[in-house]
Structure 1
Amino acid sequence: MEYESTYVFPRFDDLPTVLDTPQGCLWGFYDRNNEKDQVGAINLLTPSVVKESSKEIRTGRHVQLDWPLNNQQFPGYDRKPFEHKVIDHKPLGICGFDDEVWMNTQSGSQWDGLKHDGYGEAAVFYNGLKYEDALHSHTNGTHRKAKSRDCARQTGAKGVELLDVEFSLTWYVRFYEKRDGRAPDPWTRHEIKVADLEAALQDQAGTQTRQGDILMIRSGYVKRHNEATPAEREARTSGIGKPAMGVAADEEMVHWMYDRHFAAHVGDTVAFEAWPPATNRKYSFHNWSLVWWGTPLGELWDLEKLAQECERQGRWSFFCTSAPLHVRGGVASPPCAIAIF
């Protein structure tokens, strides 16, 4: 795919210093007309990028990327399990039904929005939003991503839905099995290193990443959950801080991700990064992605059928659309994502 990069980013070490943040913070980078940005890396999905990315649609085959809402049998961190109730209208003299759902937006396939995870003792979120303001305002809410106003301001076009763009899939189960003879257990704290990312991309017919792509990493966590017994699920996924495979939260990974300027980072695990986080959270990827860069995190996406389709077609990029719930001030949302080849 060829398109001109919309934004010119300084080198990591050349970024302007932002008070009380680490070197590499992007606060203010997307601000325009004295208005603080609230959508972060979604700004990279300009209409020209979306139009060019649509060329990925060649066969019309498509794959749903959301896990069924009730699939996580024992959501971690004591989150509310999904509930569904069908309401019969026959007592009203009407032949038909309504239904109601109760859910925690972190209890299954999800987008982590820019007010989901804040930074430590400073209690700040993306672009300097303070905890007290996040608690009592709609700032940085997921509704901002449903329509990207910055794209409209910069181009005069309508805002784009999140996320219409080319994706790059790194299929780790396949890569590790080919290289090592077996894949790591995704229910352990296995760290995916930069060298493995690069090797897997090369193994995928030399997949190239571009500014505005979304990196998607399949570890096999969802597959492991689908094949487990209820007792195994309760033991390995419920409660706080249960181990999970994910990217290494280290200096090399932070620099590698920054240099590629993805519009979002997506995985099939509980936290995208290896979990639980290291005691020293200097390179916590939740902090870097959500707080310092404003890049949404996708977690617990179902990438199993997607991986099969990528293998069948022999290509690991495709067009994808995702429409998060339009909840004013929302913290997270099911992705409602579809990959189209």
Structure 2
Amino acid sequence: MTRRWTQRPPGSNWGDFGDDDQLGRLNLLTEAKVREGVAEVRAGKVFSLSLPLDLPGGNVLNPARHPPRLMPTQRDGKPMFLHAFRHDHNTTDVACDDRVSLSLQYSTQWDGLSHIGSHFDADGDGTAEMVFYNGYSGEADFAHAQDDDGGWSRAHRLGIEHMAAKGVQGRGVLVDLRRHFGDERRRIGFEDLMRVIDLDGVEVRRGDMLCLHTGFADLILGMGGEPDGDRLARACAVLDGGDARLLDWIDESGIAALVADNYAVEDRPYDFKGDGCHALLPLHERCLFKLGLHLGELWHLTPLAEWLARHHRHAFLLTAPPLHLPGAVGSPLNPIATV
């Protein structure tokens, strides 16, 4: 294919992994990185890092996202749930079969590279257009429409299926912000993050998947499906996406993915009002749009963090593929850490 852009955004890596690349920094999850992750397995203990997918509960954190709703499948107008086949075929079988209506980024999730783009003049014609990582076009490579069933959407490029096919396995490394800053809101910039990494002796290597433990998901779990939006808005450490030194470090560190147990990894505006000239979510813009760096949100990291602290460790084998759902811009998952 012909390169889709003539100029790339400042601070981006478009084209570095190939003009047609749709994986971004996941290209750094090489076979050698998988072996590095496997080498961190010493105890054989496994941690599921997913919240129950019906949490946080309600739509306090995002009015557009709603909890999953389980429903039985239908056959001949009848629900296929506690369905006794013997009435029809003189058998003893009883079956339950269901489906789900699910906001893919409601709970523990990956943000795909199709999740956030920007207005940028990639073709050099003097007019900014909707564009995504590596120059994929909002107009040419994405589609959506409304219909009587609520509509449909599809990312023809940069869909989550590329991440799923990659497999997403390698060395995970955890930085425990909660241990240093507690449960009150604190914007974490470059200096705070470097101080914690130095104090705890955390080694962040190129190709690692970096996980930040803040305690936010643990608070959600304790709220039992009825989240206190005001409390959560004031809770826990969160990255300062406006800190240019922090964004540069994320780039220069060579990490393959960035994960947190909070809602958006970075401090986000709750009124979503901007000035029309800057990104509302600058870390999302830098990571997803410019670097092709996937973001994980609302992972449940507390039990893993506590175990690692007790054993004076920071690294583990992380296995975290999303659902293989072609065209989706994000996905729930059940990430697994093995120590």
Give the shorter-chain TM-score range.
0.7 to 0.9
Which residue of 8, 16, 20 maps to 1:36?
Answer: 20
Instruction: Point out the structure with the larger helix share.
Output: 1
| Aligned: 1:208 with 2:203 | yes
| Aligned: 1:142 with 2:160 | yes
CA deviations 1:217-239 (Å, max 9, x no partner) are 111111222233766535566xx
With 164-173 and 272-281 compared, the bigger mean Cα shift is at 272-281
**Which secondary structure does the structure 2 equivalent of 1:88 belong to?**
coil
1:320 and 1:223 map into 2 onto residues whose CA distance is 20
TM-score with structure 1 setting the length: 0.80
1:23 maps to amino acid: P
Query: For the Cα contact (< 8 Å) 2:56–2:227, is it kept in 1?
Result: no
Matched residue, 1:22:
9
With 115-124 and 292-301 compared, the bigger mean Cα shift is at 115-124
Shift of 1:193: 1.2
| Aligned: 1:127 with 2:113 | no
* RMSD of Structure 2 on Structure 1 (CA): 2.3
Shift of 1:112: 0.1
1:72 maps to amino acid: P
Query: For the Cα contact (< 8 Å) 2:206–2:254, is it kept in 1?
Result: yes
Matched residue, 2:170:
165
1:130 maps to amino acid: S
Matched residue, 1:306:
304
* Structure 2 portions without partners, runs of 5+: 73-79, 87-92, 120-127, 144-154
Matched residue, 2:266:
273
Structure ID, larger Rg? 2
Q: 1:214 to 1:36 in 2, by over 3 A?
A: same
State the aligned residue count.
294
**Which secondary structure does the structure 1 equivalent of 2:266 belong to?**
coil
Query: For the Cα contact (< 8 Å) 2:142–2:157, is it kept in 1?
Result: no
TM-score with structure 2 setting the length: 0.80
1:99 and 1:283 map into 2 onto residues whose CA distance is 37
Query: For the Cα contact (< 8 Å) 1:74–1:233, is it kept in 2?
Result: no
Matched residue, 1:296:
294
Matched residue, 1:85:
71
Query: For the Cα contact (< 8 Å) 1:213–1:264, is it kept in 2?
Result: yes
Instruction: Point out the structure with the larger strand share.
Output: 2
* Structure 1 portions without partners, runs of 5+: 1-17, 149-160, 177-182
2:141 maps to amino acid: A
Matched residue, 2:99:
100
Which residue of 40, 60, 67 maps to 1:56?
Answer: 40
CA deviations 1:54-91 (Å, max 9, x no partner) are 10011100100011111110231321211123542434
Q: 1:84 to 1:236 in 2, by over 3 A?
A: farther
**Which secondary structure does the structure 1 equivalent of 2:131 belong to?**
coil
